[in-house]
């Protein structure tokens, strides 16, 4: 009976991952100590490359003062649950032939078969 459960979980995960129509590369600022100067600097380093994923967009009109119409956009990254992406990382996503740089804007929501990470457009390293 346990084997049937494992088979079913594998099928569910494969079905979810079949919807991943993008890929992402994650770059993190990593501490590197310069042996000559003894200074520690942060250097961008790729930690994840070509990881299958999916980006979802949701638009909403936020409440405001009523004088201006502004549109808020929620961007979510769907990716395998075991992938670790540190806060402040640059996440370059290619989906539908378009490549965009994002950063994670919150803690990931990790589920059994996937995780969801809220994103915002990457502006610069902090």
Tens of pLDDT along 76-95?
999 999 999 998 899 999 99
**Per the domain annotation, does 91 fall within a domain?**
yes
Tens of pLDDT, residue by residue over 40-61, are: 998 999 999 999 999 999 887 6
**Per the domain annotation, does 105 fall within a domain?**
yes
**Per the domain annotation, does 18 fall within a domain?**
yes
List the domain range (segments joined by +) for residue 70.
2-121
**Per the domain annotation, does 65 fall within a domain?**
yes
Helices first, then strands: H and E counts in the chain = 1, 7
If one counts the domains in the chain, the total is: 1
Under 8 Å between Cβ of 23 and 50:
yes
DSSP 113: S
Tens of pLDDT, residue by residue over 3-52, are: 887 888 889 999 999 999 999 999 999 999 888 888 999 899 999 999 99
Number of C-beta neighbours around residue 124 at 10 A: 6
CA separation for the pair 12, 103 (Å, rounded): 28
**Per the domain annotation, does 126 fall within a domain?**
no
CATH of the domain at 53: 2.40.10.270
CA separation for the pair 26, 48 (Å, rounded): 5
R_g of the chain computed on alpha carbons = 18
- Which residues 6+ apart lie within 8 Å of 56 measured at CB? 75, 76, 78
**Per the domain annotation, does 47 fall within a domain?**
yes
CA separation for the pair 99, 110 (Å, rounded): 25
**Per the domain annotation, does 99 fall within a domain?**
yes
**Per the domain annotation, does 72 fall within a domain?**
yes
């Amino acid at each position: 009976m346990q084997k049937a459960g494992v088979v079913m979980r594998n099928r569910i995960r494969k079905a979810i991952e079949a919807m991943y129509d993008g890929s992402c590369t994650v770059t993190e600022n990593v501490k590197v100590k310069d042996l000559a100067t003894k200074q520690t600097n942060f250097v961008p380093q790729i930690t994840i490359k070509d990881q299958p994923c999916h980006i979802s967009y949701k638009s909403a009109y936020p409440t405001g003062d009523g004088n201006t119409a502004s549109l808020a956009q929620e961007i979510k990254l769907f990716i395998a649950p075991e992938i670790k992406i540190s806060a402040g990382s640059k996440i370059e996503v290619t989906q539908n032939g378009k490549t965009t740089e994002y950063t994670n804007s919150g803690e990931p929501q990790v589920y059994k078969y996937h995780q969801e990470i809220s994103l915002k457009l990457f502006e610069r390293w902090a």
